[in-house]
Structure 1
Amino acid sequence: MSIKRVCIFFIAFLMIAATVFPTMSFADGAYLMSYFRSGVNQTDVQPKLHYAVSRDGKYWFALNANNPVWTPVIGSGILRDPFLNKWPDGKWHLVFTTGCCGGAGIGHAESTNLISWGTGEKLHLMQNFSDVFNMWAPEWTYDSSTGNYRIYWSSTRNSSSANNNKHYSATTTDWNTFSNASLLFDPGYSAIDANIAAYGGNYNMFFKDESPIFDGDPNTNGARMRQASSTSLGGPYGNISGFITPMDTEAPTVFKLQGQNKWLMLYDYWSQGKFGIKESTNIANPGAWSAEFAAGSFRFPYQVRHASVSDVSESEYWNVVNEYSRVAYFKMDGTSGSTVTDSSGDNNHATLDGATWTTAGKINGALNFDGTNDYVLLADNSSNTGFMHNGFDVRSVSLWFKADNTNQSQVLYEQGGSAAGMALKIESGSLKFAVREGSLQQTVSTPYTDTTNWHHAVAVFNNGSLRLFLDGELKQFANAAFSSVSAHSDYASLGARRGQDAFGGSGNGAYFDGKLDEVRVFSVPFTIEDVLSIYNE
């Protein structure tokens, strides 16, 4: 092959890689999104706290299967417009809208672990005003010049509807006592959804101009975002810009990418049920924002509304991921009996058949499989719903294995069958990963022949893309011709095939000869950072 052809092939390979796996830059940590859910034009509203995580700020994956992670007791259980940030003592404070109208309070809750939020409380921060119709979209920022924490929100006064919102604020040092509320920002028209980011010695406020909703002026081209600035967090804010986002957008959240001189702005097309993203290296300059990212270059959870973004440490990231998206965790640390305990908290315990307990695991104990008739049953074939039977568009499987031979076909993990499923096996000197949907199958593989050492394998399916990692390295990836795997009623097992598998094999067999340890299943797609975190435990 000529050098020219090699170069063309290599460039094409890189273009495919960039399409399947976008280039990402990471620091020691990640991002947590908090949001509530609704459909187009605020239909199908689910006003509870939801979480999503991201390693790059662009591709977001819902935790807890996009179900609520917390519901407050106050305000009839309503939580909209959530915003959370961390106090210097490590405690997280969440503020939120408790309802539409007619109240003069905002919701507040605190947590040390992003999981336990208590019952919540209502903060009546506008008590020094008697004519308050609403308190919407609260946020808070630490003021380093005063040592206070400034909470800000939008309210309409002297009206029977939320038609003239201005931004008010109050301060606190302990979340127990608060100053009187005062006017923070009045641009001369109705405005909501302030988000404030410090940059270059100034405070930059991003907000929604709502005047087109009320004045009917066709020249304003729809309600959307502007920005203003101040040298003080408490204002006054001036230098109001022109529009910086497309028509009919709201709820901006601006955050700096970790380890980069780059900022992202996320915003909500609430009436269309979608989100947009822009980026900038100078958020003080309204003209420095990029064009909106093209479709396909970002991902948001289904029905996400009014999101806020927080930096989280690596340990905080794993705390929420393990709590809300670890489907199963088999430590293999038992010593006797036929139950393989699921330590995820979901009680998806498995049943041992023939395999034996051993203390010679990668981490403490393990299970030893004889290559003849041993296996662990994860799920039987009696249902097409529930653990290992539900359909999915995202899945990550992590496990440690030590093979005693690599010649015969040996299933390490399998769920589903020849119509819908996912499987990982050793065969003919290779480690192989397959996903199947109907008559379509996609397989990736990497050479594997070692029978001496423990090795770490991770199989990732992400909306149609497959990734196979071995010992902390991405070995092969590919795109399938399908983006999800359907529900099924087939078996799921470790160490053997029961019935059929995603490789197209049928009949009980493909028994593994070796040891398995630390098997984990997640409903989020692992990045290389996730893989390395587990590999280096």
Structure 2
Amino acid sequence: MANFCDAGKAESPYKNWETINRVWAPQIFWDPDFVWENGEKGGYMIYYSMLNRPEEKYDRMYYSHADKSFTKITTPRLLFDWGYATIDADINYLKSDGLYHMLIKKEGGKRGIFTATSKYLTHGWGAPVDDDYVSFEGNKMTEGSSAFQLIGDDTWRVAYIQYSDHPKHYRICKADKYLRNFSDPVDIKGVTAPQHGSFMRITKKEYNRLVKWDQELKAGKK
């Protein structure tokens, strides 16, 4: 993460990159409004938590932009700072209210998966909602959330890991079309040692293409 395409032009969040302790749970979101130096529009917003212990007290959320080939990545910028550690963000755009919604784990305080909203992808993230969150696991620890919709359904499913128990539990619950009012948590069966999975809905045609691709790989075809 040292060879940024805008190094020397963008302000670096750190004085010393060699003292970084960790970079966790990167995810991507296509940002059509991002503009590169050459005027080209559009890039993948990569968002992740990062900690450089000599220079900051806790994990904070940062973001960069990458081009379509992932050969250019911009210098990290701070996405938000709520005054305590935050990790495992998952961002979705909701047509139901025209807002970006973020699921996130906040370290310390109440345990669970919390939500926050913004009108903008790269700024304006307000404090998390404290009275409507994924709280089914009580005082047990949860992380690694991933929200998705089923085809033809405007409500949401939220998957997450409960890792206080051994073995861990991969759980999934329901939410309404505003990604609120979480309900009906159940275990996802057949998953061993779950860790930070992501869910993505695909069509039957896309599924068949993936099956064919896998079969060709196993057969030694390119």
- Smaller-chain TM-score range? 0.7 to 0.9
- For structure 2, the 5+ residue unaligned runs are 35-41
Tell me which residue corresponds to 1:277.
172
Tell me which residue corresponds to 2:28.
140
Tell me which residue corresponds to 2:219.
345
1:251 lines up with 2:144 in the alignment: yes
1:302 lines up with 2:182 in the alignment: no
Map residues 21-100 of structure 1 onto 2, 5 A cutoff. none
Indicate the structure (1 or 2) with the bigger Cα radius of gyration.
1
1:165 lines up with 2:59 in the alignment: yes
- 2:104 is aligned, of 207, 210, 230, to 207
Tell me which residue corresponds to 1:47.
none
Q: For 1:336-369, what per-residue CA distance to the aligned partner results, in whole angstroms no more than 9, with x for missing partners?
A: xxxxxxxx739xxxxxxxxxxxxxxxxxxxxxxx
Tell me which residue corresponds to 1:192.
87
2:60–2:85 contact (8 Å) kept in structure 1: yes
1:279 Cα deviation from its structure 2 partner: 0.9
Seen in structure 2, the aligned counterparts of structure 1 residues 164 and 208 have a Cα distance that, compared at 3 Å, is: same
1:259 Cα deviation from its structure 2 partner: 1.1
Seen in structure 2, the aligned counterparts of structure 1 residues 232 and 224 have a Cα distance that, compared at 3 Å, is: same
Seen in structure 2, the aligned counterparts of structure 1 residues 290 and 241 have a Cα distance that, compared at 3 Å, is: same
TM-score (norm 2): 0.75
1:167–1:192 contact (8 Å) kept in structure 2: yes
- Cα separation, 2, equivalents of 1:153 and 1:126: 19
1:292 Cα deviation from its structure 2 partner: 1.7
- Cα separation, 2, equivalents of 1:205 and 1:231: 11
2:86–2:107 contact (8 Å) kept in structure 1: yes
- Cα separation, 1, equivalents of 2:203 and 2:211: 12
1:125 Cα deviation from its structure 2 partner: 8.8
- Cα separation, 2, equivalents of 1:191 and 1:302: 26
Tell me which residue corresponds to 2:37.
none
- Cα separation, 2, equivalents of 1:204 and 1:301: 27
- Cα separation, 2, equivalents of 1:313 and 1:239: 35
TM-score (norm 1): 0.33
- Cα separation, 2, equivalents of 1:249 and 1:125: 36
- Cα separation, 2, equivalents of 1:125 and 1:263: 37
2:161–2:170 contact (8 Å) kept in structure 1: yes
1:267 lines up with 2:157 in the alignment: no
Tell me which residue corresponds to 2:211.
321
Q: For 1:70-111, what per-residue CA distance to the aligned partner results, in whole angstroms no more than 9, with x for missing partners?
A: xxxxxxxxxxxxxxxxxxxxxxxxxxxxxxxxxx57xxxxxx
- Cα separation, 2, equivalents of 1:318 and 1:141: 25
Tell me which residue corresponds to 1:178.
73
Q: In structure 2, the residue corresponding to 1:309 is in which secondary structure?
A: coil
1:232 Cα deviation from its structure 2 partner: 0.3
- 2:49 is aligned, of 154, 162, 168, to 154
- Cα separation, 1, equivalents of 2:104 and 2:46: 15
Q: For 1:277-296, what per-residue CA distance to the aligned partner results, in whole angstroms no more than 9, with x for missing partners?
A: 111123343xx111423x5x
* Paired residue type of 1:269: Q
In the comparison of the two structures, how many residue pairs are matched?
Answer: 193
